[in-house]
Structures are given as structure tokens and as C-alpha cells.
Chain A
Amino acid sequence: TQLLEQSPQFLSIQEGENLTVYCNSSSVFSSLQWYRQEPGEGPVLLVTVVTGGEVKKLKRLTFQFGDARKDSSLHITAAQPGDTGLYLCAGLNSGNTPLVFGKGTRLSVIA
């Protein structure tokens, strides 16, 4: 069974601080996705990374896929209360198998 370990599980920071959350596995994935989930809603796709070493930026969010395609990180610069939520990573193994989801990092940004 492929597993994606996310760390930390919980993170509480002040507005304006920077943070990084991690998604690690011993397995290789063909691509990796990040989702954000707000309370009472379904997860929403933020980004997909497909190439080892790839870096994608989405405003203050920077996503990186590890060179070996086994891990990924999400860095948020100058966090804002609107960034509060559950961040989930999900890996795709082969084309027609379901995504493997991590358990998520719950982020709270305090104003």
C-alpha cells in the first residue's frame, strides 16, 4: 500500500509568517497534487506537479516536486488568515488507479 505522509499535522502561526509543509513517500509518483479544504466544504485543487524538480508558484504559494518524484513541499510566504484550512497532497501512481491521499496538514493563521 502506498502511503503519503504529511507533516506537520497541525500548524498555528501568526499572520505574516512563512511556513513550509511536507508530503513524503517511499514510492515514486507520476504526478502529485495539492488541495486545500475549508471547513464545511470539499477539497479544492490548487496545483499539479508532474516533473521531478518542478517548481510552481501560485501567488504566495510555492510548490515543489522532489527530484525523485517521491516527495513534495508547499511553502507559503507571508501567510494570511485566508490561508487557513486543511492542505492535502495526493499522488498518482499509474494512469487508471485512484489517487493516494495524505492525511493533511491543518493550518491556522491568526490575525
Chain B
Amino acid sequence: DAGITQSPRHKVTETGTPVTLRCHQTENHRYMYWYRQDPGHGLRLIHYSYGVKDTDKGEVSDGYSVSRSKTEDFLLTLESATSSQTSVYFCAISESGKSYEQYFGPGTRLTVT
């Protein structure tokens, strides 16, 4: 299995508070992604990174920011959490070549009350 960890695995927070989710990889892959998964919507891309300090928006980026200061870490921040951001968040990694096959972390279940 690819070495990807996410922390925390579960979090409950209140509306309006900032939240940061961490993704850590030991595979030295160039690309990293943040998705959210909700019933009826499937996996939706929030942001992705194609290198250190190089990031781009996905289809549902509003309300989220990311940072990547090291190859191995990709942080997702909810500046002011809202109930609509209650979801399961997955991090994934890939490398160029091999059709950019993605390897996913175990997920973080976030509940915003």
C-alpha cells in the first residue's frame, strides 16, 4: 500500500471555526489532491498540487485553501467552517507516467455543527 496518512481521522467542530486537515506521504510523488465525498455527488476535487508551492483549484474550491511547503505534506484549510462542509475528505497522490494512477489515504470524517 502507498504510504499516505491523513490526520485527524475524525473531527467535530463548530460553525465558524478554522480547521486544518493534513495529508502526509512517504512515496515522494509529485502530485497531491484533496477530494470531498458526499452521497449523491461522488468524489469532487477541491484543490490539487503539482509540486511544492504549486497548487490549483478543483471544481469545489470555494471556502477552502491549501498549502504545500514540502513534497510530503499537503494541508487543506477551512478558514471558517460551515455545515455544508460536513463531509468525508480524501487525500490522494499520483506520479506522472502510469496514467497518473491515484493512491488514496484513509479519509477524514469532518462534522461541522
Which residues of chain A have a CB within 8 Å of any CB of chain B?
1, 30-31, 33, 35, 40-45, 48, 50, 88, 90, 92, 95-96, 98-99, 101-104
Does B101 lie within 8 Å of A48, measured CB to CB? yes
Q: List 25 A-B contacts (CB under 8 A).
A: A1-B59, A31-B99, A33-B101, A35-B102, A40-B107, A41-B107, A42-B107, A43-B43, A43-B90, A44-B104, A45-B101, A45-B102, A45-B103, A50-B99, A90-B102, A92-B99, A95-B96, A95-B100, A96-B50, A98-B33, A98-B45, A99-B100, A103-B40, A103-B41, A103-B42
One digit per residue, 1 when the CB lies within 8 angstroms of any chain A CB and 0 when it does not, for chain B 100-113 equals: 11111111000000
Contacts of B70 in A (CB 8 A): none
Bound-state CA distance A30–B45 (Å) is 20
Nearest first, the 10 A-B pairs at minimum CB distance are: A42-B104, A103-B42, A31-B99, A101-B43, A48-B99, A43-B104, A42-B90, A92-B99, A45-B101, A42-B107
Residue of B nearest to A50 (CB): B99
B102 to chain A, nearest CB (A): 6
Interface of B, helix, strand, loop or mixed by DSSP = mixed
Contacts of A98 in B (CB 8 A): 33, 45, 48, 58
- How many residues of B sit at the interface, in one of the four size bands? 20 to 34
B47 to chain A, nearest CB (A): 10
Q: Looking at the complex, which one of A31, A48, A50, A88 makes contact with B42 (CB distance below 8 Å)?
A: A88
Q: Which of B44-88 contact A (CB under 8 A)?
A: 45, 48, 50, 58-59
A42-B107, A98-B33 known; A104 vs B42 contact (CB < 8 Å): yes
A33-B99, A42-B107 known; A88 vs B45 contact (CB < 8 Å): no
Residue of A nearest to B100 (CB): A92
Bound-state CA distance A35–B48 (Å) is 19
Contacts of A41 in B (CB 8 A): 106-107
* Among A40, A43, A50, residue most surrounded by chain B Cβ atoms (within 10 Å): A43
B89 to chain A, nearest CB (A): 10
Contacts of A101 in B (CB 8 A): 42-43
